[in-house]
Structure 1
């Protein structure tokens, strides 16, 4: 028995503050209503006889005092959020005291008042610590037994009422025990619910982060309205996205409400922009019947006059609640993967062939150089002799010299081709770094194109992720091509570079005023070994495109531009700040 009592007294688990405040407000309102009702019933009872009479002064004073304090405690508990259990404990002690005074003024035992004691006892075990509730229960028992004992003495020791008081006291303890058991179970349920809520919140945060960081776009449509759209969906469809708005959580109700309103506004704006710019996609998604999955390819329209074209693979998956899950997959990633596989296969083949070719090529090149040196020596000796026969021999030697020179030039060209092929075979995974173009580009031009007319116009200050060495190789190839094919001969040839943003992409245009690429050559432009320059290898643009695709960047030729335009389209690493900057190198 003693261990059970000790365990009971040390049991200090109570309701959470939110539940405690809610139940406390309910009980405080109940106390005020009971006070008013008791005052009303006292006056009604006093007027039931033929002769009107007033309640006793003690009853009026006690009830008036009780109503006033009940109203004060209700207002105080509603306004003050600190020390709520102390406020409740004071109110429960007040209830026991007032009920005892009313029971005393009633004279005879009153079942209604005695039942109100049980409400106080039950409330104390639900709202207070176990030790505080036990004290209030004992206080109620003492008051009831004392009042009944005093009434028994005043009525010639009628101990029947005293026995009823003892039975009622035992009932108080039983009600207290049951209330404590219910309260304890409620506390445990609250803990389990809180634990589950935290787990749900943790899973919600994880799911939110996973959905946000997905490379594929995710859209959920329910009843023809967008209820979810992640960052990738905004980027793939080139629609504005506020990165500061996140999915609402369940941990903080006030913060959750604010974020829910902001997120709802974001989805509404997304839905409006989707219906304006991607009507075909929205119509195709809505036209798919419920319970039917569908996959198709969607051609993206041009965006912001940036000539950004691409294709998306759209998967429509029906959900059990009748909504539709739409997955947007960028086909450029598949193309980049295929390009990497092609480069890997080419590298394995060319790495072995190139080394085998370079050995005989070096011998041919050396032999042609030796033959040219022999021709020069023979010409010098014949010139010294000065005979007619020697003159005819010099003509033959001169012809041979041109042939040897041609052999040597062609071996150098083949060697350049082998060097470019070996670059492809040695290509490693891109080591991307954050590059602030407004700071990096002037330094690059100063290092590689000092003395050339390169005009740089930076309309924004974006940051991209790119392998710096590979970006240098790409720009060197494009700028050299621009200088080579410019309509002005050196040293008056010039190239323009424009940097600006189009939605979530950073655009780098390399412009020259040359004749551009013919329609016949356009379809072969980025093929390996295709060139219109007899001195070229045909691997410059192919290698540049391979570097771009390895860094999730597109390299395009824009035929509709007024000038010859090669365009790099890279994902923006941040929103950037807008300004203007011009530079000539």
Structure 2
């Protein structure tokens, strides 16, 4: 119905839009245009003087023309220096400069005395620059100012000489060209603005995905190393831990991605260089094997960690070398202990399914047998009392028989209790729940625990640091009770005075709890079966204590190991430190590790 108002509303809407170039792009283009203005002013002055000399005329340009050009050169230099030094209010500086360009060009066109197509064409550059660098309303004002000056100059020239519709038509056509150039430049600038926004959005998304990828690589339980042209360009935290290669805790970065690119690159190179040097020294065989694989070829092998790499914690690694498209190599390190843990979990699952279904059925007749043996033992005691008053010869014979029966009944009762303990341990396996982890300050918690459970025994505590771990307190109690009881029992076999020592200290980002006793240790042939269910060297044991303890440790992201290299019998519990100095250093350098 009313197309004209709609067009005006649309134009007004677009003019009010603030879709302009970002400040870095605006500053770059503004410097380019300011340099163009200064060069143009110098070139115009030289052209005027050269033209005057080439016409063999001794007269110099007019005073107005010289003044305008000198003023233009001076102001162009001032605007260029001001825009380069001052980074605030850039659009106002550009708007002032573009308005000055229109005024100076109009004065030069006026001093020429006749319409000059070359000067008139320079208006188009000003109009195009205004729509690209300024807001729509400011650019429109600059364009209207240029149109007014051009039409006025043509109209004034026509009055001063002779009225010519051709000149006025040229002026109107030139004005329409200004509007067309302005509209075209504005549409191009809007498209550039949208492309800049889209590129910035994509850059943020790529950066976010990169951060996520780096975090995923950092938190992976498998070690990841990337080698490019015999130089390590990436190594995550798990690679350091699996290979026991320490990082430099004094080199840390603030976890931001802005304004620290040079520092970030320098620190990353230092960390990578340090990691590569330690790797080539401590694991020269592994490093050479990785470098020797030809580009484009894959390889997998088992790597035995040397003793310097704390082989008691990580014995063997599966190494996979995968070629990448840019001739670099991706090296994956996997701890084989995890496969053993998975195998034990499968055993646990099958064991739980089997025992949970029959445990209660076994306990019912077992309770009856236990009760019957107790009643029989009571009957033996009562019959011995009654026969003690009878004939001595008959009483002695009867007492011998009853004593033999009493020992048999006692044996039955003790064995039923042993079977009951086995069933209870098996039921604990099948009823394992998720660990309810809590922060435990070992220096405060451990003395209370020993006071509650081992007050009457010689258990000596040596705390060399003040660590904090995250562990289920009930499960930690069960693990320590089992280990300390084993230590007291087996040390009593070797020494008349049984004792256990507990040492607590830190190594890297781990808290180490060593349970030491003076027993004979575990035989070499029993090491591979030590944590298997129902394996025991004690005739009265169930063979589930160590298995349960290891399961509790794994549920709390800890490790339970037997250390054969130790001088004493040593079971070592390794748990991640929480809020300790080592963990703080690791957290500070966690950002570095993402880019290793």
Q: 1:553 to 1:433 in 2, by over 3 A?
A: same
Q: Is the 1:148–1:165 contact (alpha carbons within 8 Å) kept by the matching residues of 2?
A: yes
Q: 1:332 to 1:576 in 2, by over 3 A?
A: farther
Q: Equivalent residues in 2 for 1:406-485 (5 A)?
A: 406-485=411-490
Following the alignment from structure 2 to structure 1, what is the Cα–Cα distance between the partners of residues 420 and 9?
Answer: 94
Q: Is the 1:351–1:422 contact (alpha carbons within 8 Å) kept by the matching residues of 2?
A: yes
Following the alignment from structure 2 to structure 1, what is the Cα–Cα distance between the partners of residues 336 and 137?
Answer: 69
Following the alignment from structure 1 to structure 2, what is the Cα–Cα distance between the partners of residues 417 and 316?
Answer: 46
Following the alignment from structure 1 to structure 2, what is the Cα–Cα distance between the partners of residues 57 and 431?
Answer: 93
Following the alignment from structure 2 to structure 1, what is the Cα–Cα distance between the partners of residues 119 and 346?
Answer: 89
Q: Equivalent residues in 2 for 1:58-207 (5 A)?
A: 58-157=64-163, 160-207=166-213
Following the alignment from structure 2 to structure 1, what is the Cα–Cα distance between the partners of residues 113 and 243?
Answer: 84
**Residues 204-224 of structure 1: per-residue CA shift (max 9 Å, x gap):** 233233333333333222222
**Residues 341-366 of structure 1: per-residue CA shift (max 9 Å, x gap):** 10121122223443333333333322
What's the secondary structure of 1:47's corresponding residue? Answer: helix
**In the alignment, which residue of structure 2 is the partner of 1:288?**
293
Q: 1:118 to 1:177 in 2, by over 3 A?
A: same
Q: 1:52 to 1:407 in 2, by over 3 A?
A: same
Q: Is the 2:514–2:570 contact (alpha carbons within 8 Å) kept by the matching residues of 1?
A: yes
Following the alignment from structure 2 to structure 1, what is the Cα–Cα distance between the partners of residues 82 and 119?
Answer: 26
Q: 1:417 to 1:162 in 2, by over 3 A?
A: closer
Q: Equivalent residues in 2 for 1:159-558 (5 A)?
A: 160-240=166-246, 245=253, 249=257, 252=258, 254-303=259-308, 307-385=312-390, 387-486=392-491, 493-558=498-563
Shift, 1:558, TM fit:
1.8
Q: 1:489 to 1:231 in 2, by over 3 A?
A: closer
**In the alignment, which residue of structure 2 is the partner of 1:583?**
none
What's the secondary structure of 2:198's corresponding residue? Answer: helix
Following the alignment from structure 1 to structure 2, what is the Cα–Cα distance between the partners of residues 449 and 42?
Answer: 106
Shift, 1:157, TM fit:
4.2
Shift, 1:150, TM fit:
2.1
Q: 1:531 to 1:329 in 2, by over 3 A?
A: closer
Following the alignment from structure 2 to structure 1, what is the Cα–Cα distance between the partners of residues 432 and 54?
Answer: 106
Q: 1:284 to 1:463 in 2, by over 3 A?
A: farther
Q: 1:295 to 1:17 in 2, by over 3 A?
A: same
Shift, 1:479, TM fit:
0.8
> Of the candidates 11, 16, 19, which is equivalent to residue 8 of structure 1?
11
Answer with 59-68 or 521-530: which moved more: 521-530
Following the alignment from structure 1 to structure 2, what is the Cα–Cα distance between the partners of residues 202 and 519?
Answer: 51
Q: 1:158 to 1:347 in 2, by over 3 A?
A: closer
Q: Is the 2:491–2:499 contact (alpha carbons within 8 Å) kept by the matching residues of 1?
A: yes
Gaps of 5+ in 1: 579-585
Q: Is the 2:373–2:409 contact (alpha carbons within 8 Å) kept by the matching residues of 1?
A: yes
**Residues 167-222 of structure 1: per-residue CA shift (max 9 Å, x gap):** 33333223222222322222232233233223323322332333333333332222
Following the alignment from structure 1 to structure 2, what is the Cα–Cα distance between the partners of residues 6 and 418?
Answer: 86
Following the alignment from structure 2 to structure 1, what is the Cα–Cα distance between the partners of residues 197 and 524?
Answer: 73
> Of the candidates 551, 560, 566, which is equivalent to residue 565 of structure 2?
560
Q: Is the 1:208–1:247 contact (alpha carbons within 8 Å) kept by the matching residues of 2?
A: no
Q: Is the 2:384–2:402 contact (alpha carbons within 8 Å) kept by the matching residues of 1?
A: yes
Following the alignment from structure 2 to structure 1, what is the Cα–Cα distance between the partners of residues 149 and 58?
Answer: 32
Q: 1:306 to 1:216 in 2, by over 3 A?
A: closer
Following the alignment from structure 1 to structure 2, what is the Cα–Cα distance between the partners of residues 239 and 511?
Answer: 27
Gaps of 5+ in 2: 584-596
The answer on 1:25 being equivalent to 2:28 is no
Q: 1:524 to 1:192 in 2, by over 3 A?
A: closer
Q: Provide the TM-score with structure 2 as the length reference.
A: 0.87
Following the alignment from structure 1 to structure 2, what is the Cα–Cα distance between the partners of residues 520 and 199?
Answer: 56
What's the secondary structure of 2:491's corresponding residue? Answer: coil
Q: Is the 1:478–1:566 contact (alpha carbons within 8 Å) kept by the matching residues of 2?
A: yes
Following the alignment from structure 2 to structure 1, what is the Cα–Cα distance between the partners of residues 416 and 157?
Answer: 128
Q: 1:368 to 1:515 in 2, by over 3 A?
A: same
Following the alignment from structure 1 to structure 2, what is the Cα–Cα distance between the partners of residues 113 and 365?
Answer: 117
Q: 1:263 to 1:574 in 2, by over 3 A?
A: farther
Q: 1:544 to 1:575 in 2, by over 3 A?
A: same
Q: CA RMSD in A?
A: 3.0
Following the alignment from structure 2 to structure 1, what is the Cα–Cα distance between the partners of residues 449 and 311?
Answer: 25
Q: 1:198 to 1:515 in 2, by over 3 A?
A: closer
Following the alignment from structure 2 to structure 1, what is the Cα–Cα distance between the partners of residues 573 and 406?
Answer: 46
